[in-house]
Amino acid sequence: MRKAQKQEVLEFINSLHQAHQEIKEALGQKDSASAKSMFAECQDFAVSLGENIERMEGAGHITVSHLEEYCEALFHCYENVEAGQFHENKIYKTLRKQLLKVENSVRNDILERKEIVFFPYKASMWDSLESVYLAAKEDPECDVYCVPIPYYELNPDRSFGVMHYEGMEYPENIEVIDWQTYFFEERKPDVIYIHNPYDEWNLVTSVHPRYYSANLKKYTDILVYIPYYSTSGGMSEAQSLCPAYLYADYIIIQAPGYRKYFDPRIPDEKFLPFGSPKFDKTIKVCQNPPIPSAEWERKMVGRKVYFYNTSITGMLEDTESFLRKIDYVFQCFQERDDACLLWRPHPLLESTFDSMRSEYKMIFQALKKKFIENDLGIYDSTSDIEATVGLCDVYIGDSGSSVTSLFGIAGKPIFILNNKIHKRPDEDSWRGEIINLIPSYRREDENVLMITQGNKLYASESALCSFKYLCDLSRYAYGSYYMTALRMNGKIYVCPYNAQDILVVGDGGIEKKIELEKRVTQGGAFCSACKCGEYLVLLPYQYPAIVVYDTVSGGIRYFEEHLDVAVKRNERGEMLIGGQRPYKNYLFIASPTDNYMYKLNVETGHSDVIELPIKSRCGCAALIEYADEFWLLPYRGSVIVCWKPETGEVVEYSNIPKGFQCKNPENGNLCEEFAFATPAFYEEHVFLPPMWGNMFLKLNRNTGEIQRWEVPFEEHGGKAYPYSATAAFTWIGPDETGENYHLFYFPERKLYCVNLRTDQFTEMEIKFSVDELKEHEPGFCEDSEWLRYCCRENAFNSLTDLLDGNITGDKFDKSRQLEAYQEIVANYDGRCGEKLHEYVCGGHR
């Protein structure tokens, strides 16, 4: 019997107790007629109750026999009243005694059953619920239902489009109930499980509004949200707060460490670190792989099978590169007899093209048609991803996908593709990945420092730019933990990007780690660092404070006041920080959206906000100090501002040559953002290389004239390169003559010494030992906190290298991978579903 049904029976019995009291009162008032009428009503009520109990619990149930005894007592009491031989207290006690037997039997002899319902929407995501469902089905005290629910594609205006129902696509062992026949509003199940947290927040699809979490919670005691995804260590910021979290009683997380990725306002007691049902199924399937279909087996036999995953995240980040990458992958597998390509796009990828990248949908469809019609491999559109994982040998694809975690826990190699690579690397391709001069290129006492090749520090002992390996900076090979190295007081201070600590490096490697307060859980804590006297200043991105470290005393201070002037979000929700520059004992940060300036005295800690009398109000993307003047390069638009902090005087330069325009390098669209990169100064001129702009310019500070600056290489303006700029002057500054600056040209990864007096460009060769780079290439490794173990595609480890078995660096080590993944998975034994069901139901019986 359901808990709610049992409660109703007990309420009915309580009504009988009340009737006994009324009978007693009627007899006390000598109203025999009313008493006899109530005897009859109690008799009918008891008979009906007995019939219902027999229907639910079976014939011959002991509670029914107690009800029969109660009915006999009612009959005898009726006869006594009819004969006029009665005492109201004795009748009351007799009936009460018999009814208490019934009540105790209901409480103790009728087992309380729970009704549990699962509301999945996409069949391909059923794996996130399945092991819990199967465990519940084995529980004799539970009635369990799988009720797939409909969902809608959303039109670009977010109205409901086509409705989908995938109830016919579930595994044969899952008993599916039609959503149109299961009325949870009436049944009031004890437990509801869901795996869609978005409700009305989703931009691509929406479940039927009837199944939004706020409505479901009205009709159940326990609402449980289990993520439809699993991860390899991190979690998307977009998942930190979703509507379902507000109404769910429990939120299931992979491991205790995942709590930090959720909004801190969510009560801790909601989180249950049980792992993921997806892992349960993966472990089970990989221990006993399924038999492939005849068509699949024909393509797989005698070949290593590569699971190619194309994710929504990868598509949205850079759609053109994503599509070019797909075609390149097809080329790599063509004509190979030793490899089978199994392509499995994300189930919602085409819907996302429709709603968010419709202009590219036809290109994707053409690639899909090419793959299928030319029989280039296996196109997998099945709903059971774990079965496919069990049949595959290697993962290739995007990093931002839960599929990596399935291969991780299965102990199968993970090879992360770089969507910017569209051809086989040549002998110089490593330069585009290794030579990372902005922002990590610094000359400190004739020592040039560069953080590159993941988290590795390289140094050149002179300005000749011949780099040698100095040390590793992290136990993880990648993850962009650090970005800038500065020399101060005879030490090298390595400053964080994703990390939240400062490293002190000496001749023998890392000497000390200076821990900062852990205030962010996602990446991108800091965006830059600078020296201000004896102080090392860390400039925030996601981190909620400016950090000032005293290199003499070792003190750390955090400054939060007025920070909202310098760090903002744009209309797309992206974080922006304005241009920054130290000056004397002050740190200045310009607003990225308006004409305000943040000013911090790093010695006293006092901060101010200054309003600059700027008409253009375009925000500031870069702030450069030269000869006691500040130059503000616009975040939006092309007006360049010169500000003199001592006098407050402002000059605006807007006479940009005709034909100047900006293009977003990610999508090639015309825009008004990031026109200029770091400039250089000589006499009365300011030399302006383009960031997203299409011209090199020269500004005359005296006359305000801006003209085109002729350079000996192409103005690529906006073409998509791995770095979102065309060229930039480095932070090294001019030499002693004031004429020579270093200019880095991104498309060719070349550094030039530019004499601004003569306009002479001299290439400065940036040298690395390729043998040394290969020696320190990690290969298969512990990648980062967010991707525990993999190998990354690069110039030394191409996709073809993987197929040929020519990996540079460490070879794949299954035991090493499994050990890395055990750190982020609770219930690594594949019993998440079993233990979760036991907790949710066992703890509430």
Contact assessment for residue 459 and residue 450, using Cβ atoms and an 8 Å cutoff: yes
Position 104 pLDDT exceeds 50: yes
Any idea which of 154-163, 524-533, 647-656 has the lowest mean pLDDT? 154-163
pLDDT tens digits for 799-819? 999 999 999 999 999 999 999
The rounded distance, in Å, linking the Cα atoms of 384 and 124 is 6
> Which stretch, 449-463, 596-610, 663-677, has highest mean pLDDT?
596-610
> Which stretch, 489-493, 532-536, 570-574, has highest mean pLDDT?
532-536
The rounded distance, in Å, linking the Cα atoms of 24 and 31 is 10
Contact assessment for residue 418 and residue 324, using Cβ atoms and an 8 Å cutoff: no
pLDDT, residue 234, reads 86
Helices and strands (DSSP H and E) totals, the chain: 22, 48
Position 668 pLDDT exceeds 80: no
pLDDT, residue 723, reads 53
Token pair of 126 as six digits:
């059923």
pLDDT, residue 447, reads 66
pLDDT tens digits for 357-397? 999 999 999 999 999 999 999 999 998 899 999 999 999 99
pLDDT, residue 612, reads 95
Token pair of 747 as six digits:
């498309």
Contact assessment for residue 826 and residue 832, using Cβ atoms and an 8 Å cutoff: yes
Any idea which of 509-523, 571-585, 720-734 has the lowest mean pLDDT? 720-734
The rounded distance, in Å, linking the Cα atoms of 706 and 687 is 10
pLDDT, residue 98, reads 93
Dihedral of the alpha carbons of 717, 723, 727, 728, in degrees to the nearest 10: 140
Per the model's pLDDT, the better-predicted residue between 98 and 204 turns out to be 98
DSSP letter for each residue of 150-165: -EEEEPTTS-EEEEE-
- 734: which residues sit within 8 A by CB, 6+ positions away? 680, 681, 682, 740, 741
Residue type, 478: Y
Mean pLDDT of all residues in 139-167: 92
Backbone φ and ψ of 834, nearest 5°: -65, -45
- Residues 474-483: b if buried by 16+ CB within 10 A, e if exposed: bebbbbbbbb
Contact assessment for residue 164 and residue 196, using Cβ atoms and an 8 Å cutoff: no
Residue type, 443: R
- 770: which residues sit within 8 A by CB, 6+ positions away? 430
β-pair partners for 467: 768
Residue 463 binned pLDDT confidence (cut-offs 50, 70, 90): low
Residue 718 binned pLDDT confidence (cut-offs 50, 70, 90): very low
> Rounded to a whole number, what is the distance in angstroms from the first to the last CA of the chain?
13
The rounded distance, in Å, linking the Cα atoms of 308 and 389 is 11
Position 724 pLDDT exceeds 80: no
Mean pLDDT of all residues in 420-433: 90
Pairing of β 339-345 and β 304-310: parallel
pLDDT tens digits for 300-334? 999 999 999 999 989 998 899 999 999 999 999 99
Dihedral of the alpha carbons of 702, 704, 706, 707, in degrees to the nearest 10: -50
Mean pLDDT of all residues in 465-471: 91
The rounded distance, in Å, linking the Cα atoms of 491 and 511 is 10
Question: For the packed helices 361-373 and 349-356, what is the interaxial angle rounded to 10 degrees?
Answer: 150
Position 398 pLDDT exceeds 50: yes
pLDDT tens digits for 590-608? 999 999 999 999 999 999 9
Contact assessment for residue 643 and residue 621, using Cβ atoms and an 8 Å cutoff: no
**Greatest extent of the chain over all pairs of C-alpha atoms, in Å:** 130
Position 717 pLDDT exceeds 50: no
The rounded distance, in Å, linking the Cα atoms of 104 and 405 is 51
pLDDT, residue 578, reads 92
Strands (DSSP E) along 323-446, which ranges? 339-345, 378-379, 394-397, 414-416, 442-444
- CA torsion through residues 204, 207, 210, 213, sign: negative
pLDDT, residue 181, reads 96
Token pair of 389 as six digits:
């994982």
pLDDT, residue 113, reads 85
- Alpha-helical (H) ranges within 441-589 are 563-566
The rounded distance, in Å, linking the Cα atoms of 457 and 515 is 19
756 alpha carbon, distance to own chain's centre: 46
Position 448 pLDDT exceeds 90: no
pLDDT tens digits for 83-100? 888 788 999 999 999 999
pLDDT, residue 236, reads 83
Contact assessment for residue 278 and residue 403, using Cβ atoms and an 8 Å cutoff: no
Mean pLDDT (the chain) is 91
Contact assessment for residue 590 and residue 632, using Cβ atoms and an 8 Å cutoff: yes
